[in-house]
Structure 1
């Protein structure tokens, strides 16, 4: 096995037309790792796993070696991360899975959390009618009915080849026997852990030692209660979580502390299969997560806008290329604030938002020389077109089956609450609802009535597990954590690979930028030329250099069938490996 890490004039109509016409130029040829490349991907032949944690990656590789397919490996990785990466890996949260079979069938599994039956529209407002982030982030009210166990069980039952008990065995062993704390977990326990875990005795007893100090790098963390819960699921299936002893623990924890989740909520939970959002970009097919994720719609929407510009000619990192992408992002995030929500409760205008005609109308409003202030951008009129902490992992097997999973507790360690003696950390995903229309959530995202709190509703998400196909065959499997920045991080993985011809490692390592409409700010990582940033400022961009964005875990399949993978150099202890 080989393993690697990587540490001024407005547009005239004629100019707009010429740029749109020029956009049909072929993108740069994709590199698969040659001597001239700056970063080199992991290269393997039979199967590959990319995740944020080396132990979990190895679990997935072992399942592939034992004859499991990509879904088997993904489910095993998901359960393992609940043990080794408790910041975001979970049983008490939820997420999304994108799956593409070797035969080309693509589907999406939605295991997003749901609001409890007793949830109400104004439950997170204080006496003055203002949104109270403490209620939506750190109280027992913050937790939605978890979906991860149901989602993994559904995937394994319908698309896997190995029994669920076998897929849970590695996670049970890691929890029961313990594992050595890595640098990433030690750092997060010392920062976020102290903020959210110490206030809860059950959580403190697991993640902090007898002297009150958090576990340090190199020390062994044992989670006996979590091992017991995992063992119950292995023996009884998801009913152990939703109807059995684990459900009792969760319901009792909530009842004793003002939470809303009851046994009926847990028993009623269902993971659901949905049709992916799909689009085309310069001859490639793009498949991503549909609502209640906003990711797929807006990745396709932004790519549709960008297809009207010749980014390859502009060049990676140029002021013009960044200007075009940032302005396109602003229009997409403005639409997100108005139109996106749970499709089981609101009509989401998917066709309009992903229409190439609508995208062209937006592209014609983008000025290369000058920004349009966010205050002047409103959600689009769609009638003519209608007919921070999360984790991601990617898996491809020897037959070409591919899985992309993004799942989360929301912020680091979720609400910080462990349900009774279950050893299971609970999410704080209720903050992803719009507590009050127009009021930003913890990631600064503004939402409207479409994403208001309602019983049994799933909150809007930015999680964007994405699969790109070329000539009918899976080509790129990718995704990232990052709250509101997930969409733009995944977008840049696609654009870097297709428009700028980067190999998967280079596309991963390239500096990133982000605009989400509100606040009206272009966030950039360090690594861009100061000259480029000055040019952007002359165009009117409010540029802010801020900390690194995202933690992509990606796999690319070359024309020879070889697998090329990369973990993100922005994070420590992640690993891409295969055989």
Structure 2
């Protein structure tokens, strides 16, 4: 049943105009800080709120969602409003041309539900569509062509959440996004830098070039007012006619025309047939906490639970945060989970996935017994296990909670930064390139280096496997931690570490999302680390036989911690526009 609140007043136009009139680049809350200082150990105080909390990757989306809560809306109202606002303010990852997953926890009913609005393969898709005549996978085909796009699910998924659990109308939830697209907003540095970095790819298509560059081809500068009239018109159509407009109306016609003009397989019939679905979330326990995360076609929830089950057998707190011993057992648990991912995970509407076995404590005990405490296990010696029985990167995450026991964890994406790079002519939004998340050829890694198998091969109308991991942790029936992250294959391990930082290391939520992270995904056989891991620790890990590689920052875990009725927001400084706002 929907959660009922008094109908909010309409304050968004006034709020957005006030924001546009201010210098937004300098108004980022304390929760956003210099990542170098954080990695050097400086502690930051999280944003605190008495009645609710919003944490998103863009301060404008945080602001409009905050205003919804302040005006009496619930967490789902605020989440849907933020989701559409991010589609305007952060087009590299926020979207209406992609898809994702939403977890909703309602303390009053005790239910946690998972909304799957992942993209689907077109009905004309086939297993070898991204291979050449020699049977070799051709990465360009699954990444930068019109056939790289699955049927988008965001509009249908957000509308379903609002209809089932919100109090606003869709038009009301879309109002801030429409204003931002129509009237524009001042561009922050991250937006400008992102466009310049992707210039070569974005200049290829006329509609994309027109959206992201000035008429003379020059770039936008920081502080320029950025308007998107085609996107505003699309959002207005959806607001006026409802979510099916995207799938059966003028927007559907524009998408189908774009496909037809460039030999794309997606049709109007594919769009009209798309529906999101409600699933049971993956569930496990860790040191007395209930952990809920997304179920397949996301692999995230299954492997979060699997890794936590393995790690529960160690005294992680006593071993110490990011000590060599802790990183060693984390990496060993990660290897085994990603090995299983390569064989077993796929869309459960198409394949049997041994969910019960993968998430069982007994299977974790077997895997833990294989882990030596003083030596790395080479990935070549790790194969997918036998978790019986069977049973029938560029992404953005946001977390929102209200004071009536409703919490939302949402992760959605168009895959790469800017997806396929293709803007739908006349509609103003980017198409995803999620087809690359299928196994173009079993055993061949995708863009994130992830190995896939038969369970995730391309099939018509199938949802491609994902790593997105929206997660909600509960204690004694109460929402405690709402988290998740972007980051491709690193999403699962980023989310895992936020949970461990809070539960095992007793960190406040801002510290939990800010401190250095590590990652191992079985293949390649290396521990990827962020800057800030001690050279002494690295030397100890290498002495155990690990290969350690320092690379760029991983993820952006917008998170909320609820402790004794107080909301604490942690905005990840790895994205300069991140913002946590409480009330």
**Per the shorter chain, which TM-score range?**
over 0.9
- The reply on whether 1:324 has 2:329 as its aligned counterpart is yes
Partner SS state of residue 412, structure 2:
strand
Alignment TM-score, normalising by the size of structure 2: 0.93
| Matched ranges for 1:37-436 at <5 A | 38-103=43-108, 104-192=110-198, 194-383=199-388, 388-436=393-441
Alignment match, 2:503: 498
Alignment match, 2:481: 476
Task: Give distance in 1, aligned partners of 2:191 and 2:371.
Answer: 43
- List gaps (5 residues or longer) in structure 1: 8-35
Task: Give distance in 2, aligned partners of 1:568 and 1:214.
Answer: 27
Task: Give distance in 1, aligned partners of 2:399 and 2:144.
Answer: 30
Contact 1:3–1:578 (Cα < 8 Å) also in 2: no
Task: Give distance in 1, aligned partners of 2:550 and 2:311.
Answer: 24
Alignment match, 1:462: 467
Alignment match, 1:515: 520
Could you report, residue by residue, the CA deviation over 1:103-132 in whole angstroms, capped at 9, with x for unpaired residues? 121000000000000000000001221111
Task: Give distance in 2, aligned partners of 1:81 and 1:384.
Answer: 41
Could you report, residue by residue, the CA deviation over 1:26-67 in whole angstroms, capped at 9, with x for unpaired residues? xxxxxxxxxx99321111111111001000110101111121
Aligned with residue 5 of structure 1, among 1, 13, 31: 31
Task: Give distance in 2, aligned partners of 1:573 and 1:401.
Answer: 25
- The reply on whether 1:568 has 2:572 as its aligned counterpart is yes
Contact 2:107–2:477 (Cα < 8 Å) also in 1: no
| Matched ranges for 1:28-39 at <5 A | 38-39=43-44
Task: Give distance in 2, aligned partners of 1:38 and 1:572.
Answer: 17
- List gaps (5 residues or longer) in structure 2: 1-26, 34-40
Alignment TM-score, normalising by the size of structure 1: 0.93
Partner SS state of residue 474, structure 1:
strand
Partner SS state of residue 549, structure 2:
strand
Task: Give distance in 2, aligned partners of 1:383 and 1:481.
Answer: 30
Deviation at 1:5, TM superposition (A): 2.0
Q: Number of aligned pairs?
A: 549
| Matched ranges for 1:445-456 at <5 A | 445-456=450-461
Partner SS state of residue 488, structure 1:
helix
